[in-house]
Amino acid sequence: LPAALLIHGPAGVGKQRLALWLAQLAVCTSPGLEGPCEQCQACRMARALEHPDIHWYFPLERPKGASGDRLVDALETARNEALTALREQPLRAVAGDELRGLYLATVRNVRQRAHMQASMADGPVFIIGDADLLVTQEASPEAANALLKLLEEPPGRARFVLTSSAPGRLLPTIRSRTVPLHVGPLEVEEVAEFLMEHLDVSPERAGWAARLSEGSPGRALGFLPDDDDLGTLDALRWKAWELLGAAVEGSVSGACALALGYAPAGARKLLDLFEFLEGWLRDVAAVASGAPERVVNHDAQDRLGKLVGRASLRAANVPLAFAAVERAREAASGNVNPQLIVTSLVRELGAVLSPTPAIRAAGAAPAGAARR
């Protein structure tokens, strides 16, 4: 195991799970060719997330009202609470939660521990999940630089395993200090089997969620319902569909009415919605170019077919729609009012996807009028 490894690949595919397995392998007292022995005390403790030399860090919400050393302590308390929850329920859906981060105080905690003696193993193993979420809210590269120092000169026999589904957002210097390992999406059948093995779901439901998951068990979990509601990702997917529908319909009042359903602040929450919108746009292109079997939203082929037929959508216009989504994404990253972003996006999408007067309601302003 190199001193600093970077596991990257799609969100929810199991990168942190793999990192935990590697850490278990590193501390196992009698590892075999297939991996850790699963029998020794070190293996049992690692599997229970209780090994004293395996330190798992992941983004957390910033505790309120704490700074300096008290923030370090508050984050450590929050991390221990999260670990307790993970021991009870190790399966989590991918959560697009823009409020979580890894902070300078987190890295200070890692640094302190990295300089301490290992308790049982040769050296400690540090897992830093979603490492690209370093300093997202601190507006300074300090945390990333502090981590960089640790990666450059790991104290003693400390090892680091970073994971990221957006490695492009890591500092280039951090990327260059780590050995990359790509984890690709799984086969649909593998995801379905995973769901059936770990959850009480029928083969039909498992297959349905697996086909929507794009090869990621963590995403598949997000499509399965909590109680009677839609799964969180499924709800987001239909919200994106609604947005596309309003765009194609082309009515100004419809766009405004839809936009008013969004909160007036917190634009970053739109980023996940836009990913689903792009999924629908890809599907529109697939259906419009005569390849309906290629759609990701496999349970919506009928709706897609009707939408494409009714509004005579053309695949050639879809790239322009992607550009509109990209502009909306930039606005969301810059924290523009979400209602404005949605109004503008719906109208721009309508203008490029469905420019024919028969579909566009009379009196629609020309494209650009809704731009800020």
Using CB under 5 A as the criterion, which residues of the chain lie in contact with Zn ion when the complex forms? 28, 36-37, 40, 43
The CB-of-57 to Zn ion minimum distance in angstroms stands at 23
The CB-of-47 to Zn ion minimum distance in angstroms stands at 9
The CB-of-3 to Zn ion minimum distance in angstroms stands at 22
Q: Which is nearer to Zn ion, 28 or 192 (CB)?
A: 28
CB burial of residue 40 (10 Å; 0-12, 13-18, 19+)? middle
How many C-beta atoms lie closer than 10 Å to residue 200's C-beta?
7
Q: Which is nearer to Zn ion, 32 or 203 (CB)?
A: 32
Q: Which is nearer to Zn ion, 38 or 275 (CB)?
A: 38
Q: Which is nearer to Zn ion, 45 or 230 (CB)?
A: 45
Q: Which is nearer to Zn ion, 27 or 212 (CB)?
A: 27
The CB-of-233 to Zn ion minimum distance in angstroms stands at 36
Q: Which is nearer to Zn ion, 43 or 346 (CB)?
A: 43
The CB-of-54 to Zn ion minimum distance in angstroms stands at 13
The CB-of-21 to Zn ion minimum distance in angstroms stands at 12
